[in-house]
Structure 1
Amino acid sequence: MRHVTGDATLRDVKFTVIATSLDPESRSAWLCALAARQLSAQGHGVTFLDLRSTPLPPFDNVQGEGGCYAHPNAALYHRAVAEADGVLLGVPVYNWGLGSGAKALVELTGSSDELRGLHGAWFDRPVTFLVSGGLDHGYLSHGAFAFGLMVDFRCVVNPHFVYATSAHWDGPEVPGAWLTERLERTVDRATDLSQRLQGREYRSTWEI
């Protein structure tokens, strides 16, 4: 886990940025690093997690020793999401959907069985997507995943998001002009959304 902290003078907004790709040269992870840098520069508190360096196990819903919930990083991710005023998810697109890392993350941190002392970390979180795809027409490949977060956890999904292909990068970790502007605007919208929703008194839970 890498912590990026700022002055926290802007209403003490806390963000969690999570890179979910396992690709060593992940472009969605580059987006996450750039977004975290922008948030930190604006004075926000940022927790940056990367599944490549801070891995999670496959979701098996098994309690106790040997199960996914006993993994040393499970509580770390759960807390990072639950305590955030906003979450930015870096996700790759494969086969017209998101990579398995994002799904495993939500499955593991989304459990809300109060009898087992668990509560879904995602309830009511503002979520912003930073998407890396291979083709321009995969633009809405994260749509089903985003809809699931809205329906299951009442997440407020930011309508401003990044979708970038290899053509939008000038080099490794160097975004082109269009991508630079798009990412900066998306992060600004994420900040605005999180600030406006900060301090809500209600807490959603399972209704069905």
Structure 2
Amino acid sequence: MSSLRLPVISCSLDPASRSRRLAERSARLLTVAGHQSEVIDLAAVDLPPFDNDSVFDSESVRALHALIREADGVVLAFPIYNWAPSSTVKSLLEATGATGNGRRAAWFDKVITFVCAAGLPHSYMATAALSQSLMLDFKCVVNPYAAYFSERDWDAESLTVGRAARLDKAMMVHAELATLLRGRTYSSDWEI
């Protein structure tokens, strides 16, 4: 079977972001497994605020929409702030998930994996609302092996051995789900 397109989108604006390092490692793992994977760093992309109007004229939004639409699966790497995914993730979803006026969301039927960096281990369920939205709105399949890492999971600049194994497994499951669903016979659209 040919390789999958599995981009990793880094959704942190922090110059010293741990979630960006996790994104880079995720893309390396997927590439080593034989898939097409690259990190798209939203800190380097001009993602305008969502206004449901001129945002769609942005070349960067059009490029992100095409990247997501053409992907077999997407890894979203982001920090957890105040018990929730960073606002950059929501901005990305709003800009590329809007429908109406001839627009079709890019996210339909995608396999999604979350890779999160947080301060404390207590907010590991912070992705629940995001998962629910992706599943119900866009019929995404959300990898149950979310990769959640708190400050306690790092030895200096690297993940501890046990936690690195979790990221490895999350990427393996991500690729396997995308492979299995590549031959799906259905196509979703905005429906309840």
Determine the C-alpha separation between the residues in 1 that align with 2:89 and 2:171.
20
From 111, 133, 145, the equivalent of 2:130 is 145
Tell me the number of residue pairs that the alignment of Structure 1 and Structure 2 aligns: 192
Determine the C-alpha separation between the residues in 1 that align with 2:140 and 2:166.
22
Aligned to 1:50: 41
The amino acid across from 1:22 in the alignment is L
* Percentage of pairs with the same residue: 39
Given that 2:19 and 2:77 are in contact with CA atoms closer than 8 Å, whether structure 1 keeps it comes out as yes
The amino acid across from 1:50 in the alignment is D
Where does 1:1-208 land on structure 2 (aligned, <5 Å)? 10-62=1-53, 67-113=54-100, 116-172=101-157, 174-208=158-192
The amino acid across from 1:25 in the alignment is A
TM-score, with normalisation over the residues of structure 2? 0.96
TM-score, with normalisation over the residues of structure 1? 0.89
Which structure is higher in helix share?
2
Determine the C-alpha separation between the residues in 2 that align with 1:126 and 1:42.
17
Given that 1:47 and 1:80 are in contact with CA atoms closer than 8 Å, whether structure 2 keeps it comes out as no
Q: CA RMSD in A?
A: 1.2
For structure 2, the 5+ residue unaligned runs are none
Segments ≥4 residues shifted beyond 3 Å: none
Superposition deviation, residue 27 in structure 1: 0.9
For structure 1, the 5+ residue unaligned runs are 1-9
